[in-house]
Amino acid sequence: MRTGKLPPELLKKLLKHRGAKDPRVILGPSVGEDAALVKVGKETLVLKTDPVTYASEMIGWYAVHVNANDVATRGAEPAWFQAVILLPPGSDEALAESIFKQISSAAKSLGIAVTGGHTEVTPGIERPIVVGDMHGVFKGSKPVVASGARAGDVIVLTKGAGIEGTATIARERRSDLLKTFDEEFVDRAAKYLFDPGLSIVPEAMLALKHGVSAMHDPTEGGVSMGVYELGVASGKSVEFWVENVPVLSETAMICAKYEIDPLGLLGSGALLATFKPDDADKYMAALRKKSIRSAVIGRIVSGKGRSIAVTSSGTTPLSFSERDEILKVLQE
């Protein structure tokens, strides 16, 4: 198998192996779903685990936010974080401390407590790896799941495509980018980590007030993969209006340099959410008041396995891609 996500057919097969049955598990592992749901007494816990493997600089910051985002897509505020921190042989104490500080800073920014984890120097790896584990509590009447998307709903994307990927490339390939762009440009791209930022918690919490039917965090595979996964999770299909997707200028220019597709680039920092059209208008108006950019980039349609990408030149089938565009840059 190539680097990247496992093919969905294989993943569906593997997810049949899920341990003991437990009636408290409301939602277990499923393709296209961001986090699990477990009923404990009167509360519903939201559980998420996600690694950071592409970035090395600010890896602790990434780990907190990508896991917090997935908890937020369930309509829960992230509350507790744990991390497994694997360091390559030869790492010094300063590297370990910097990752701890990044995790603490990101957690504080979202009101999250760090509750434990594990750290070791691990043979066989060349760069740090952080595997995050985030928990939150849903206190509303009904958790939001990606399978909740309804035929006729429109798909709203916040901020833009490739935010995480832009920041990662700017930080991991800075010297190469400086051969083409000036220092101010590269610095702006690197700061995508903070502005527009990786967190989608604010817009996810706002979506709960506007009749959201499904939410999804487009991470590996970018916006295109996230839209495809919405169709898979809901058992329906999507029309993906490619030319409606916002792409920020630094993202567009970096992607042009490396000849990669911004819509297939690491997408944390953007939220995919589905609404009835009238509710989507109200949600986007509320986002504008908070200076958060958004756009309608598609709609949910009846029928399974008929997802398409629509452009001014025609339509093409929207299919699974296991490899994120960033691998074309980082694995050169």
pLDDT, mean of residues 65-94: 95
pTM above 0.85, yes or no: yes
* pLDDT for 323: 81
Termini Cα distance of the chain: 18
Report the C-alpha gap between 221 and 54 in whole angstroms. 13
User: Residue 83: how many CB atoms within 10 A of its CB?
Assistant: 27
Q: What is the largest CA-CA distance in the chain?
A: 58
pLDDT, mean of residues 99-123: 96
Report the C-alpha gap between 17 and 43 in whole angstroms. 26
Per-residue confidence at 308, pLDDT binned at 50, 70, 90?
very high
Report the C-alpha gap between 173 and 132 in whole angstroms. 24
What value does the mean pLDDT of the chain take?
A: 93
* pLDDT for 200: 95
Q: Phi/psi at 198 (nearest 5 deg)?
A: -85, -20
Nearest 5 degrees, angle CA 71-CA 155-CA 301? 115
Cis peptide leading into residue 123 (ω within 30°):
no
Region of residue 160 (left: phi > 0; alpha: psi -120 to 50; beta: else): left
What are the structural domains of the chain?
23-138 (3.30.1330.10), 146-330 (3.90.650.10)
pLDDT: which is higher, 307 or 6: 307
